[in-house]
Amino acid sequence: MLHDIGDPVAAGPEPAQAKLALIRSAGVAATCAVAALAAAVAMAGFARGAIVPVATIQGSVAALTLTAAITPLSAPFCALLAILAVAVALWCARRGAAQDPLLIAAFTAAMLLVLIARSVALFLFAWEAMSLISAFLVAAHHERRGVRRATFTYLVVAQSGALCVLVALTLLAVAAGGTSFDAIAAHAPLLSPAVRDTVFVFALLGFGSKAGLIPLHFWLPRAHPVAPPSASAMLSGAMLKVALFGLLVVTLELAAPGAPWWGIVLVGLGTLSAIGGVLYALVDHDLKRLLAYHSVENVGIIVIGIGVALAARSGGNSVLAGLALLAALFHTINHGLFKALLFLGAGAVNDAEGTVDLERLGGLWGQLVWTAPLFLIGCAAIVGLPPFNGFASEWLTFQSLIGGMVGNGLTMTVAFVAAIAGLALTGGLAAACFVKVFGMVFLGGSRRPSARAAVRERPDASTIGMGLLAALCILFGVVPALAVVPLAAVVGETLHVPARIPPALPALPLTVALLPLAGALFCVMLAGRRGVRSVPTWTCGSPVTPAAQYTATAFSKPLRTIFAFVLFPDRQRRYEVGSSPWFPSLISYRTRSRYIVDEAARGFAAAVLRFARGSRLVQSGSLRLYVAYAVAALIVTVALAR
């Protein structure tokens, strides 16, 4: 399942080049303009702390009225969108295909529209626009068969999800007798429990599949490796978050207050996604697909926060609900920042080496002198190392889980303790995975065939784009108050209770990391004074070759074996014996994991196809038969009417 992307830009004649450059500049400018708009919306949302109406277009039918307004809850999502759009636009200015930035601009605009939609019609319109434009982004290299299949899978999941969202919102609109979100929210307390729970289930299916929650995640690891890096950054960094925004709007506003089991279901699904995502990432050696699985993991962590917030809110514990929602929103922002950084870094690796296969990369530290340190910051942030931003938000998530562990009944205690253990395991496994990623791609010796020479990277606009994201990862990590204080205001507006920031949080990251940083500095100073001698690596006297380095497959081998009950690894070893059986001329080793969820999805698709084929019996295509159907229907109707 390796999708090689290769060099997308083909050299053309001079005028064509000029035209492409023009398209690229226009796209970059458009993306920046949309980003500015998103930033303005975010500012308005943060500043006003109340719903700001934007526009209402009366439809010919009342149900088609389009209403847009800025809510406090949409502000952090718009801010994230603005930051990511700027970073990705900078990236697109120098790399990728010329038409990418235009599509990215349209995609960003569609996402912005989803975030400010306040009526069913506008929300669904924007949602569809977002899905379709992103499908174009995924299909950028549609000349390859694998890309077309991935796009098809994505479209099927996106459309099925949109259908579920449509059902959920329609149920709400019918019950409320109006399609504006304000009317629905006003009617929310009067909903019958059956409608409320049905709406939740459909919203979970629709938004959960878009966000990549297990078991509806399977489109994600297919779509990401084939999309251009800029598109992956936007899909993973922003679009998954827009889906979570939809889930938040429905559960916190349109169908609120929810039943206690909503929160527990979300905590359970979040834990499952977190552990499942990181396990599949561990055994994957395609850098972009691995990052896609980590998106599944991080969406799981965010959903745990949302689940705790819902459970606490329905239990009447508003302080805990505020803390949990704060954790979820903060992790949403953080994941957007570091995941976009990592995807853009993976794109830079692909541009330099022509592959993102971990088994063929190595030793890029000395070559990608700018990307490597920025990528390391992304790795440290996603693993949650202090003092990077992932640490602060994961710490908050743990705090909210621990706060809700006791006094809320047996089910919640079991779910929360399991989530704490699961989250701790996820953290450890994610660290293992990113040690693998960074160690294999950037450290050690190069695994490149010796014919190709290394080219030292020079900084350009794309480096600035990545640098912006990395700087924010550090800034929100070292000074979490910068992000947490506005987010706490948003949480307060959304839940109608002031959110309390844990008093330890502002000073925490730097306190944890101060002495380790001092130790690192001490080492550098001591090395400067006393000198360090470079010697060959000790390999028991045999020559130092890149082939003897530990590989990604070998690195993840123990965990693959330990988690064999989930991953079902299977291996094939092949020996080619030459003149002597003791010295084989070639040994090849392949290992593959089985993806149970994907297999189940494929089984489901096959069953649907079988059913469709079976139903062809009544669709012979013969006109006479159809006339007979019509006559029969008429007779039955008349018979029933009598």
Partner 1 sequence: MILLAQVLAIAGLAPLVQGVMKRLRANLQGRPGPSPLQPYRDLAKLANKEVLLPNGVSPIPLIAPGIALGVAVTFAALLPIVVPNALGSIVDIIALVFLLGLGRFVLTLAALDSRSAFAGMAASREMTFGSLVEPALLLALLGGAVVGKGTHLWSVMDVPFGLAGTLAFAAFFLVLLAETARVPIDNQETHYELTMIHEGLVLEYSGWQLAMLQLAGFIRQLCFFVLASMLLPGGAEGWRHLPWVLAIICMVPAVETLFAKLRLFEVPQLFATALILAATSIGLRVFGVLV
Q: Binding to partner 1 (CB under 8 A): which residues in 594-623?
A: none
Q: Which positions from 387 through 406 interact with partner 1, judged by CB under 8 A?
A: 391, 394-395, 398-399, 402, 405-406
Residue 205 CB, nearest approach to partner 1 (Å): 30
Q: Which positions from 560 through 579 interact with partner 1, judged by CB under 8 A?
A: 561-562
Structure tokens at 138: 């995924």
Q: Which positions from 263 through 302 interact with partner 1, judged by CB under 8 A?
A: none
The answer to whether residues 122 and 113 touch, using CB atoms and an 8 Å cutoff, is: yes
C-alpha Rg value of the chain to the nearest Å: 26
- One-letter amino acid at 600 equals A
- By C-beta, is 169 or 364 nearer to partner 1? 364
Choose, by CB under 8 A, the member of 160, 170, 413, 591 that binds partner 1: 413
- By C-beta, is 307 or 444 nearer to partner 1? 444
Residue 385 near partner 1 by CB under 8 A: yes
Residues with Cβ < 8 Å from 564, sequence gap 6 or more? none
Terminus-to-terminus CA distance in the chain, angstroms?
Answer: 61
Residue 544 CB, nearest approach to partner 1 (Å): 6
Rounded CA gap, 231 and 107, in Å? Answer: 9
- As a dihedral over the C-alpha atoms of residue 166, residue 167, residue 168, residue 170, rounded to 10 degrees, the angle is 80
Rounded CA gap, 233 and 292, in Å? Answer: 10
Rounded CA gap, 203 and 200, in Å? Answer: 5
- By C-beta, is 69 or 341 nearer to partner 1? 341
Choose, by CB under 8 A, the member of 57, 524, 627, 632 that binds partner 1: 524
SS3 205: helix
Rounded CA gap, 117 and 111, in Å? Answer: 10
SS3 53: strand
- By C-beta, is 2 or 523 nearer to partner 1? 523
Q: Which positions from 502 through 521 interact with partner 1, judged by CB under 8 A?
A: 504, 507-508, 511-521
Residue 387 CB, nearest approach to partner 1 (Å): 9
- One-letter amino acid at 559 equals L
Residue 379 CB, nearest approach to partner 1 (Å): 9
Choose, by CB under 8 A, the member of 262, 438, 476, 595 that binds partner 1: 438
Residue 113 CB, nearest approach to partner 1 (Å): 38
Stretch that binds partner 1, among 54-62, 266-274, 383-391, 615-623 (CB under 8 A): 383-391
Choose, by CB under 8 A, the member of 531, 581, 614, 621 that binds partner 1: 531
Residue with tokens 């049905």: 198
Q: Is 354 left (phi over 0), alpha (psi -120 to 50) or beta?
A: left
Choose, by CB under 8 A, the member of 424, 577, 606, 630 that binds partner 1: 424
Stretch that binds partner 1, among 27-35, 138-146, 299-307, 360-368 (CB under 8 A): 360-368
Stretch that binds partner 1, among 160-168, 331-339, 414-422, 592-600 (CB under 8 A): 414-422
Q: What is the DSSP string of 455-503?
A: ------HHHHHHHHHHHHHHHHHH-THHHHHHHHHHHHHHHTSPPPPPT
- By C-beta, is 52 or 552 nearer to partner 1? 552
